[in-house]
Chain A
Amino acid sequence: MKILIVEDESRIAKRIKRLTRDILGDALQLIIHINTLHEASIYIENNSLDLVLLDLNLNGNSGFELLSKAVSESFHTIIISANKDQAITAFEYGVLDFVPKPFNRDRLEKALHKTITTEKNNEGATKFLAIKKRHRIQLISVEDVLYIKGAGAYTELFLADGKKELHDKSLEKLEQLLSSSFERIHKSYLAKMSEIKEIIVESGSKYIAELKNGKRIPIGRTKYKDIKAKWF
Chain B
Amino acid sequence: MNLRFLTNFLLICFILLITSCSQSPVFKEYQTLSRIGDQQEWATKNWNDDGWDKRKPIVEAGEVYWTRTPIDILKAPEPLHPYAIRPYIYGEYEVFWDGVLIGKNGNPGQEVLLGPEGKMLTTFILPTHLSQEGEHILAIRSSLYYFPDHVGMRVDIANYDDLLTDRLIETSYMHIFAGAFLIASIYFLFLFLSDKKEYPMLIFSISCFLFFVLNLTEFITTYVPIHYAYHHIRLEIKGVLMFSISFLIPLYLSKQFPIPKRKISLLIYAGILLFIFFIKHNFIDFTTRNMALSMWFFSFGITIFGIYKKMKGARLVMLTLFLALLVNFIIPFEVGIFIGFSIILLGMFYLLSLRIKEQRLAYQTSLVQSTRLRLELLKKNIQPHFLMNTLTSLIDWIEESPKKGVLFIEALAKEFDLLNQIENQTLIPISQEIALCRTHLEIMEYRKEINYSWQEENIDIHEKIPPGILHTLLENGITHSLPQEDNSIKFKLIFESNTTYKLYTFLTFASVSTEKMKDREDGTGLKYVKARLAESYQEHWKFSSEPTDHGWKNTIKIYS
Contact = CB atoms under 8 A, between A and B. Distances in A.
Interface in A67-101: 82-85, 100-101
A102 B515 contact: no
B514 interface: yes
A100 B388 CA distance: 9
B505 to A, nearest CB: 22
B514 to A, nearest CB: 5
A57 B385 contact: yes
A9 interface: yes
Given A9-B447, A10-B450, A82-B384, A59 B393 contact: no
B389 A60 contact: no
A19 B391 CA distance: 16
Interface residues of A, number: 25
B393 A9 contact: yes
Contacts of B447: 9-12
Contacts of A14: 396, 449
Given A10-B448, A11-B447, A83 B393 contact: no
A8 B449 CA distance: 11
B539 interface: no
B480 A60 contact: yes
Interface string A159-176: 000000000000000000
A60 B479 contact: yes
Given A10-B450, A101-B391, A36 B385 contact: no
Nearest to B395: A102
A59 B480 contact: yes
A212 interface: no
B449 A11 contact: yes
Nearest to B523: A60
A109 B517 CA distance: 35
Interface in A36-78: 36-38, 57-61
A104 B395 contact: yes
B448 A82 contact: no
A57 B384 CA distance: 11
Given A82-B385, A82-B389, A101-B389, A12 B480 contact: no
Contact of A82 (B388, B476, B482, B514): B388
B31 interface: no
Given A36-B515, A59-B515, A60-B520, A83 B385 contact: yes
Contact of B392 (A58, A84, A101): A101
A10 B449 contact: yes
Nearest to A58: B515
B480 A9 contact: no
A59 B513 CA distance: 9
B518 interface: yes
A103 interface: yes
Of B389, B479, B520, the most chain A CB neighbours within 10 A belong to: B389
A61 B518 contact: yes
Contacts of A60: 476, 479-480, 517, 519-520, 523
A15 interface: yes
Contacts of B518: 61
Nearest to A11: B393
Contacts of A84: 384
Nearest to B394: A102
A15 B385 contact: no
A153 B395 CA distance: 40
Contacts of A11: 392-393, 396-397, 446-449
B516 interface: yes
Contacts of B482: 35-36, 59
Contacts of A100: 388
B429 to A, nearest CB: 29
A9 B392 contact: yes
Interface string B463-477: 000000000000010
B515 A37 contact: yes
Contacts of A15: 392-393, 395-396
Contacts of B387: 82
A82 B515 CA distance: 21
A57 B515 CA distance: 13
Contact of B516 (A35, A61, A103, A104): A61
A110 to B, nearest CB: 16
Nearest to B391: A102
A62 to B, nearest CB: 9
B388 A102 contact: yes
Contacts of A37: 515
Contacts of B395: 15, 102, 104
A15 B391 CA distance: 12
B389 A12 contact: yes
Contact of A36 (B391, B448, B514, B517): B514
A11 B394 CA distance: 9
A43 to B, nearest CB: 14
Nearest to B388: A82
Contacts of A82: 384-385, 387-389, 392
A54 to B, nearest CB: 14
Nearest to A65: B516
A37 to B, nearest CB: 6
A227 to B, nearest CB: 43
A12 B446 CA distance: 10
Interface string B512-534: 01111111100100000000000
A187 to B, nearest CB: 41
B65 to A, nearest CB: 101
Given A36-B482, A59-B479, A9 B448 contact: yes
Nearest to A56: B385
A100 B384 CA distance: 10
Nearest to B408: A11
A59 B476 CA distance: 9
A36 B391 CA distance: 21
Contacts of B397: 11
A60 B523 CA distance: 10
17 contacts: A8-B448, A9-B447, A11-B393, A11-B397, A11-B447, A14-B396, A15-B396, A59-B480, A59-B515, A60-B476, A60-B479, A61-B518, A82-B384, A83-B384, A83-B385, A101-B389, A101-B391
Counting from the closest, the 5 A-B pairs by CB-CB distance are A82-B388, A102-B392, A101-B388, A11-B393, A15-B396
Interface of B: 384-385, 387-389, 391-397, 446-450, 476, 479-480, 482, 513-520, 523
Given A8-B448, A10-B448, A36-B515, 6 more contacts: A12-B396, A15-B396, A59-B480, A61-B518, A83-B388, A104-B395
